[in-house]
Structure 1
Amino acid sequence: MTTRPIRIGVQIQPQHADYPAIRDAVRRAEDLGVDVLFNWDHFFPLSGDPDGQHFECWTMLAAWAEQTSRVQFGALVTCNSYRNPHLLADMARTVDHISGGRLILGLGSGWFERDYTEYDYEFGTAGGRLDHLAEAIPQMQQRFTALNPSPTRDLPVLIGGGGEKKTLRLVAEHATIWHTFAGPDVLEHKLQVLGRHCADVGRDLQDIEVSVGVGGKGREGRSPEAPEVEGEPLRALGATLFTMGTNGPDYDLAPVEPWLRWRDEVNAKSNG
C-alpha cells in the first residue's frame, strides 16, 4: 500500500449558479480544509436544465488562483480539443504563477458533443481525440520550457479516464495523478493494466497518485456511503485522493465533512 497521505478533493460544478455562489462555495471548501478544488471544462450544464446557467473553466481558475491561498486546484478535466496546446500551456503557467504554485493541470480528450457542435470544434472520434491529446501533451511540455518566466515547478498533470489501450498509456507516460470513477473491482483491474504500461515506459506505478470519484453523486447506480465503507476498499488498492462533486445553485458541502474527518483519522494513524 502506498504511504501517500489521504487527500480530499471537491469538484465545484460551475452550473446552475450565479458566480457569487461559486465564489462562496470555494471559500467554504477551503475553510473546511479540503485539499483540492476542481471545476470542469464544459460550456453547458451536464445535468439538470441543459440550457441553465454555466461558466467557462479557465477564466474561473484564474479567479480561484487569486481567491484561495492554500488549496491546490484545477480542472477535472481540461478538454484538449478546445485550445491550442501552446496557448493552454501559457494559460496554465500564468494561472499557476497567480496562485503561487498550486495549479494541477487536469487533461482529457473530451466527450461532450454539444460543446463541440455549438462552439464549432470538430468532434471526430473518441480514438482520434485521444490521439490528439497524445500529440498535444509533448507540445505543452515544450512550450513550458520556452516560456519566460517558466512555470513555478514541473506542473502536476492529472489525466482522467480508464481506456486501457490509449488513456492508461498516456497516464503512464505523463501523469502525476490518474482520476477514475471506478469501484474497487474495476479499479483493481485498471491498476494492473496501468502497472503494465508503467513497466513498459520505465515508470514506477507508485509515482502516480490515484484519484477516485466518491460520495455517490455523479456515480451512476451508486448511493452515498460512509467514507469508511466506500473509501477503505479503494484505499487498500492504492487510492489516496478522494474527490466528490457538488452542484449549484446551493453547493452543499455537508457530505464532504465526514470524508475530511476520515482523512484526518487515517493520516494521524499513518503518522503515528
Structure 2
Amino acid sequence: MTRPVRIGVQLQPQHSTEYRHIRDAVRRCEDIGVDVAFNWDHFFPLYGDPEGAHYECWTMLAAWAEQTSRIEIGALVTCNSYRNPELLADMARTVDHISDGRLILGIGSGWKEKDYDEYGFEFGTAGSRLDDLAAALPRITSRLNKLNPAPTRDIPILIGGQGEKKTLRLVAEYADIWHGFTDRSTYPRKAEVLDRHCADVGRDASAVERSSGVPESGEDAMLAGAQALVDLGVTLLTIGVNGPDYDLTRAEALCRWRDGSATETS
C-alpha cells in the first residue's frame, strides 16, 4: 500500500487568552496546505505556566469542523477516561457530519494525573487505564455502527502510544493510524513489534498508517529528520505549535518539502 506523505500540525490549546488566536491558526493551516490539524485532550497546559489559559478539546473540534472545508481534524489524542465510550462515538459521528467526513478519531489511555484529579476522574494505574481503553474500543466501534444517521465514512481511528504488550496490540486490532510518540531511533523496534501483533491478529500491517512527530530543531535538521522517518515508513508527520502566536513557519517548510522533495513510502 503506497501512501502520500502528509503534514499535521498540533495546535496546542494553551496559553492563548483569546480563542480568536486558535481560530486564526486553523485558517492559516488550511491556507498553507497542512493536511491535518490536531489539538490535544487536556484541561491544563502541559508546559509553561501550569495554570495558564487552556481550552477543551472536543468543543473546539466541532468549531474547527464548521470553520474549515478541506483539512482533516482530530485530537492527538483524546483521553479515553474522560468520556463514556458510547458518548464519545456519538460526539465523533456528529463532528464527522459537521465536517463532511474529515474527522480522525484519535484516542489513547491517558496519563496526565492533574487532569484526573482536578476533574474528578479515577486515575488508576497505567495498566488499568490501558485495560479501560481495551474495553472502550469495541464499544466505540459498536456504537458507531448503530447511530442514526451513520457516520459519513468509516471514521479513521488513530491510537497513540508505544507500549509493546497492550497498546500496540490494540493498534493492530483497531487502529487505522498509529502515532507512536517515537523518533527515528526508537521507531524501528516499535514498528517491528506492531508488525508482529498485526500478524498475530491476521491483519496486513501495511493497513495501519504510521504517524510521528518531527524533530523540533532548525529547519535543515527538521527536514532531514522528517525524511529519515519517511524512509522508515512514516507518512503522517506532525509538528506542535503553541499559543498565543501559533507560529507556522516550520509547518510551511514541511509543506514545501512535502510538495517538492519528500519521498513517498510503501
3-state SS in 2 of match to 1:61: helix
- Tell me if 1:138 matches 2:176: no
Partners of 1:10 and 1:228 lie apart in 2 by 15
Pairwise CA distance, 1:261 = 1.1
Which letter maps to 1:16?
A: H
Matched, 1:191 2:191: yes
Identity of aligned residues (%): 66
Q: Which amino acid aligns with 1:9?
A: G
Alpha-carbon spacing, 1:146–1:130, altered in 2? closer, same or farther (3 Å) = same
CA contact under 8 A between 2:184 and 2:225: conserved in structure 1? no
Ranges in structure 2 where 5+ consecutive residues have no aligned partner: none
Shift of 1:182: 1.5
1:28 aligns with 2:28: yes
The verdict on how the C-alpha distance between 1:253 and 1:115 changes in structure 2, with shifts beyond 3 A counting, is same
| Structure 1 residue aligned with 2:83 | 83
What secondary structure, in the 3-state scheme, does the structure 2 residue paired with 1:54 have? coil
Match of 1:229 among 224, 231, 248: 224
Structure 2 distance, partners of 1:215, 1:29, is 19
1:197-208 → structure 2 map (5 Å cutoff):
197-208=197-208
Superposition deviation, residue 146 in structure 1: 1.3
Q: 2 CA distance for matches of 1:189 and 1:270? A: 21
1:153 CA displacement: 1.2
Question: Which residue of structure 1 aligns with residue 181 of structure 2?
Answer: 181
Q: Report the equivalent of 1:16.
A: 15
**Contact 1:16–1:249, Cα closer than 8 Å, also in 2:** yes
TM-score of the aligned structures, taking structure 1 as reference length: 0.94
Mean alpha-carbon deviation: is it higher for 113-122 or for 175-184? 175-184
**Mapped partners of 1:266, 1:11: distance in 2:** 23
Equivalent in the alignment of 1:3: 2
The amino acid that maps onto 2:51 is: D
CA distance in 1, matches of 2:203, 2:116: 34
**1:111-122 pair list within 5 angstroms:** 111-122=111-122
Residue 165 of structure 1 aligns with an amino acid whose one-letter code is K
> Which of 224, 243, 255 in structure 1 is aligned with 2:250?
255
AA partner of residue 172 (structure 2): A
Distance 1:74 1:231 in 2: 21
* Counterpart-to-counterpart distance in 2, 1:16 and 1:110: 21
Q: Could you tell me how far apart the structure 1 residues matched to 2:13 and 2:51 are? A: 13
Tell me if structure 2 keeps the 8 A contact 1:215–1:255.
Answer: no
* Number of residue pairs the alignment of both structures matches: 263
CA shift for structure 1 position 270: 5.5
Once residues 75 and 30 of structure 2 are traced to their aligned partners in structure 1, the CA distance between those partners, rounded to angstroms, is 16
Do the aligned residues in 1 keep the contact of 2:33 with 2:255 (CA within 8 Å)?
yes
Distance 1:89 1:270, change over 3 A: closer
Matched, 1:212 2:212: yes
Partners of 2:218 and 2:114 in 1: how far apart?
Answer: 29
Q: Which contiguous aligned blocks of 4+ residues in structure 1 show a shift greater than 4 angstroms?
A: none
Q: 1:239 aligns with which of 219, 234, 240?
A: 234
Counterpart residue identity of residue 96, structure 2 = D
Return the alpha-carbon distance in structure 2 between the equivalents of residues 111 and 147 of structure 1: 30
Q: 1:102-125 CA deviation, whole Å, 9 max, x = no partner?
A: 000000000000000000000000
Deviation readout 1:11-33 (Å, 9 max, x if unpaired): 00000112000000000111000
Q: Deviations over 1:212-258 (max 9, x none)?
A: 10141xxxxxx345244111211111001100000001000011111
TM-score (norm 2): 0.96
Work out whether residues 6 and 266 of structure 1, in 8 Å CA contact, stay in contact via their aligned partners in 2: no
1:94-113 equivalent positions in 2, closer than 5 A: 94-113=94-113
> Hey, what does 1:219 align to over in structure 2?
none
Q: How far has the Cα of 1:174 moved from its partner? A: 0.5
Contact 2:219 2:250 in 1 (8 A): no
Q: More deviation in 125-134 or 178-187?
A: 178-187
Q: Deviations over 1:6-51 (max 9, x none)?
A: 0000000000112000000000111000000000000000011111
Is the 2:3–2:264 Cα contact (8 Å) retained in structure 1? Answer: no
In the aligned structure 2, how far is the partner of 1:224 from the partner of 1:193?
31
Query: Whole-Å Cα distance in 1 between the matches of residues 34 and 227 of structure 2?
Result: 19
1:155 to partner: Cα distance: 0.7
Contact 1:181 1:214 in 2 (8 A): no
Q: Which amino acid aligns with 1:4?
A: R
